[in-house]
């Protein structure tokens, strides 16, 4: 066989997701030039791209590397990408009406695709340079998306905060990377993985890199941008930030800790414990006081991130599988909560927790969905959130750090309190309940998909086993 043919096949199969996204990105640029104006057509195109990604996900995932060993793909990475796209699809479902009426749909689609491409490349990167580039490719479009509603003051605040904090994080990351390069002479993950924690400079370089990801995951003390950005951005973007972008960052942090710096484990174990305790505590305590649903979800997602990194502390295959399992379940639970808030806020403009008093009497399906999502976030059975938290905390317990496990468990009390406050609010009676919200087919699809995943995923042990096998093959 000629060499060119040999090269092109793995290229096509390993990069299939990225190629489809890049292709449609170019397509949308062309359409923009020819001034296609129909939102419906554009969305149909976007949906067909999404469908193509999902269909190609079923091609048996083969592992391999590309571009002089800087890009890799394997079963686990395609699994993660598939789930990110499923989440993206659900976001499109919940916001179908909003997107149809969107004036800046071109900008939305192009920036969104760029961000998605960035996240996909991020997950596949095997070299710090590619990692840095893809991180930027994600951060800048998202910051731009935050100001999609140009006329809103809060939106510009959100966008500014987002771009400044992203730039700061990138700066820190670059500093860390350059120190690492100075110490090891290479930026390949493979070369770095044999690096020993020999000097305090090693520790400093690692901490700088860790801090950059702490920014992305909004771990304390790098969480300050989260609430304002969440509140100011359109809820569609907030959802994307909170689910897809967070999930992507969690996956890559996991890979960096486990595969790139395994020898730094004594350092990052302690780091994670401290950061996790602070993150959970601050996220939980601030979430109690919030009145706006977006700010509330911002702080509650901060607390959830604390649990995610607590699971990472296990440093075992079980830990990695538990984190990935939890992130997928967290994605579905968060999506349905955001979805209901999006449907309500886009129709009525109401975004306060108090507005949901008596919600149940007019909107039964939406209330049950919201309740199931919140119960799952709180980690109470029979929802999948229970299994996610359970496996995560079991992983965290594998180091037999009793106080830490009790801390994690007791903090579930706090989160239960604020999640349940909303659930109770909905069932109470109110003088001015929200109107009945009509659901279109897309929204219903999203709701049923999320409910089914939340209620069933936990009972399907196969799902977790599948993740664990992928992790072991990784």
Partner 1 sequence: MSLYLILLFPSLTIALLLALRSSRAVKWVSFVGSLAQLALLIAFYFHFKSLDSGTAIKPFKYQEQITWFPSVDIHFHIGIDGIALSLMLLTAVVMMGAVLVSWNIKTLVKEYFILLILLSIGAYGTFMSLNLIVLFFFLEVAVIPKFLLISIWGSGNKKYSANKLAIMLIGASAFIFTGMVSLYFMLPEGERSFDIIQLSQTIIDTNIQSLVYVLIFIGFGTFSAVFPFHNWVPDGHSSAPTAGSMLLAGISMKLGGFGLLRVATYLFPLAALQYAEIVIALGAVSILYGAVVTMMQKDLKYLNAYSSISHCGFIILGMGMLTQTALNGAVIQLISHGIMTALFFAIIGMIYERTHTRTIGEMSGLLTTIPFISTMLIIVGLCSLGLPGMSGFVSEMLVLMGCFEKQSLFHRAAAILSAMSIVITAVYILRAVTKVTMGDTHGSQIAYRNASWNEKLAALLLVAAIFIIGLYPQWLVDLVSNDTKLIIDKILLSK
In the list 110, 277, 412, 447, the residue contacting partner 1 (rule: CB under 8 A) is 412
Which string of x and - marks every residue 362-381 that binds partner 1 (by CB under 8 A)? -------------x----xx
Cβ-based nearer residue to partner 1, 166 or 321: 321
- Minimum distance of partner 1 from residue 91's CB (angstroms): 27
Residue 402 contacts partner 1 per CB under 8 A: yes
Cβ-based nearer residue to partner 1, 62 or 465: 465
Residues found in the chain: 474
- Those residues with Cβ within 8 angstroms of residue 387's Cβ, 6 or more apart along the chain or in another chain: 325, 329, 381, 457, 458, 464
Nearest to 91 by CA among 236, 241, 229: 236
Two tokens, residue 149: 């509603």
- Minimum distance of partner 1 from residue 464's CB (angstroms): 5
- Minimum distance of partner 1 from residue 368's CB (angstroms): 9
- Minimum distance of partner 1 from residue 407's CB (angstroms): 9
Q: Across-strand partners of 125?
A: 71
- Minimum distance of partner 1 from residue 57's CB (angstroms): 23
- Minimum distance of partner 1 from residue 253's CB (angstroms): 23
Nearest to 72 by CA among 83, 61, 82, 58: 61
In the list 22, 263, 394, 445, the residue contacting partner 1 (rule: CB under 8 A) is 394
Cβ-based nearer residue to partner 1, 274 or 472: 472
In the list 413, 452, 456, 473, the residue contacting partner 1 (rule: CB under 8 A) is 413
Contact (Cβ atoms closer than 8 angstroms) between residue 225 and residue 162: yes
SS3 assignment, position 66: strand
Contact (Cβ atoms closer than 8 angstroms) between residue 213 and residue 257: no
In the list 19, 285, 416, 455, the residue contacting partner 1 (rule: CB under 8 A) is 416
- Minimum distance of partner 1 from residue 298's CB (angstroms): 23
- Minimum distance of partner 1 from residue 406's CB (angstroms): 5
Nearest to 144 by CA among 110, 97, 176: 110
**Separation CA 302–CA 459 (nearest Å):** 27
In the list 6, 224, 406, 456, the residue contacting partner 1 (rule: CB under 8 A) is 406
**Hey, which residues between 290 and 329 contact partner 1 (CB under 8 A)?**
318, 321
Cβ-based nearer residue to partner 1, 187 or 434: 434
**Separation CA 311–CA 223 (nearest Å):** 19
**Separation CA 277–CA 401 (nearest Å):** 13
What DSSP string runs through 265-298? HHHHHHHHHHHHHHHHHHHHHHHHH--BHHHHHH
**Separation CA 69–CA 63 (nearest Å):** 12
Stretch that binds partner 1, among 77-85, 97-105, 228-236, 384-392 (CB under 8 A): 384-392
| Runs of H (alpha helix) within 58-199 | 75-94, 96-100, 105-124, 128-146, 153-184, 189-192
- Minimum distance of partner 1 from residue 219's CB (angstroms): 22
**Separation CA 418–CA 207 (nearest Å):** 33
Residue 386 contacts partner 1 per CB under 8 A: yes
Give the interface size with partner 1 as a residue count (CB under 8 A): 35
In the list 62, 191, 354, 465, the residue contacting partner 1 (rule: CB under 8 A) is 465
- Minimum distance of partner 1 from residue 390's CB (angstroms): 7
- Minimum distance of partner 1 from residue 308's CB (angstroms): 18
Cβ-based nearer residue to partner 1, 349 or 461: 461
Which string of x and - marks every residue 420-449 that binds partner 1 (by CB under 8 A)? x--xx--xx---------------------
Cβ-based nearer residue to partner 1, 181 or 386: 386
Contact (Cβ atoms closer than 8 angstroms) between residue 395 and residue 408: no
Cβ-based nearer residue to partner 1, 19 or 420: 420
Query: 377-401: b or e for each residue (b if 16 or more CB lie within 10 Å)?
Result: bbbbeebbbbbbbebbbebbbbbeb
For 264-267, the CB contacts below 8 A with 24+ separation are 264/195, 264/197, 264/202, 264/203, 264/206, 265/315, 266/197, 267/197, 267/203, 267/206, 267/207
- Minimum distance of partner 1 from residue 379's CB (angstroms): 9
Cβ-based nearer residue to partner 1, 42 or 393: 393
**Separation CA 373–CA 368 (nearest Å):** 8
Cβ-based nearer residue to partner 1, 52 or 380: 380
Residue 397 contacts partner 1 per CB under 8 A: yes
Contact (Cβ atoms closer than 8 angstroms) between residue 217 and residue 246: yes
Residue 354 contacts partner 1 per CB under 8 A: no
In the list 391, 392, 447, 451, the residue contacting partner 1 (rule: CB under 8 A) is 391
Contact (Cβ atoms closer than 8 angstroms) between residue 275 and residue 214: yes
Footprint of partner 1 (CB under 8 A)? 318, 321, 360, 375, 380-382, 386, 390-391, 393-394, 397-398, 400, 402, 405-406, 408-410, 412-413, 416-417, 420, 423-424, 427-428, 459, 461, 464-465, 468
């Amino acid at each position: 066989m000629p060499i060119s043919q040999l090269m092109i096949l793995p290229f096509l199969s390993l990069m299939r997701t990225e190629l489809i996204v890049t292709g449609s990105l170019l397509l949308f640029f062309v359409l923009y030039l020819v001034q296609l104006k129909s939102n419906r057509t554009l969305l149909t195109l976007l949906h067909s791209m999404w469908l193509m990604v999902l269909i190609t996900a079923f091609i048996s995932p083969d592992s391999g590397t590309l571009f002089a060993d800087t890009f890799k793909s394997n079963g686990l990475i395609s699994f993660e990408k598939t789930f990110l796209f499923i989440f993206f699809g659900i976001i499109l479902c919940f916001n179908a009406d909003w997107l149809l009426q969107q004036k800046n749909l071109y900008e939305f689609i192009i920036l969104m695709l760029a961000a998605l491409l960035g996240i996909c490349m991020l997950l596949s990167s095997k070299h710090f340079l590619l990692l840095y580039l893809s991180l930027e490719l994600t951060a800048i479009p998202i910051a731009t998306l935050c100001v999609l509603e140009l006329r809103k003051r809060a939106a510009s605040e959100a966008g500014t905060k987002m771009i400044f904090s992203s730039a700061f994080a990138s700066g820190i990351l670059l500093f860390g990377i350059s120190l690492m390069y100075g110490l090891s002479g290479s930026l390949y993950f493979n070369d770095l993985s044999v690096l020993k924690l020999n000097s305090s400079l090693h520790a400093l370089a690692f901490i700088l890199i860790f801090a950059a990801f702490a920014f992305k995951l909004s771990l304390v003390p790098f969480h300050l941008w989260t609430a304002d950005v969440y509140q100011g951005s359109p809820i569609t973007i907030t959802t994307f930030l909170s689910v897809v972008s967070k999930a992507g960052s969690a996956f890559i942090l996991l890979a960096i800790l486990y595969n790139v710096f395994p020898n730094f484990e004594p350092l990052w174990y302690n780091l994670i414990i401290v950061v996790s305790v602070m993150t959970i505590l601050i996220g939980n305590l601030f979430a109690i006081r919030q009145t706006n649903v977006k700010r509330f979800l911002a702080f509650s997602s901060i607390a959830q991130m604390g649990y995610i990194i607590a699971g990472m502390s296990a440093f075992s295959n079980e830990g990695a599988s538990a984190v990935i399992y939890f992130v997928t379940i967290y994605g579905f639970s968060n999506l349905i909560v955001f979805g209901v808030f999006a449907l309500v806020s886009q129709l009525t403009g109401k975004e306060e927790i108090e507005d949901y008093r008596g919600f149940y009497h007019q909107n039964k399906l939406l209330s049950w969905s919201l309740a199931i999502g919140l119960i799952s976030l709180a980690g109470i059975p029979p929802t999948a959130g229970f299994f996610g938290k359970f496996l995560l905390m079991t992983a965290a317990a594998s180091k037999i750090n009793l106080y830490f496990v009790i801390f994690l468990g007791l903090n579930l009390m706090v989160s239960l309190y604020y999640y349940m406050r909303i659930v109770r609010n909905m069932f109470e009676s109110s003088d001015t309940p929200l109107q009945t919200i009509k659901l279109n087919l897309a929204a219903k699809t999203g709701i049923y998909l999320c409910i089914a995943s939340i209620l069933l995923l936990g009972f399907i042990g196969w799902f977790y086993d599948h993740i664990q096998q992928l992790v072991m093959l990784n």
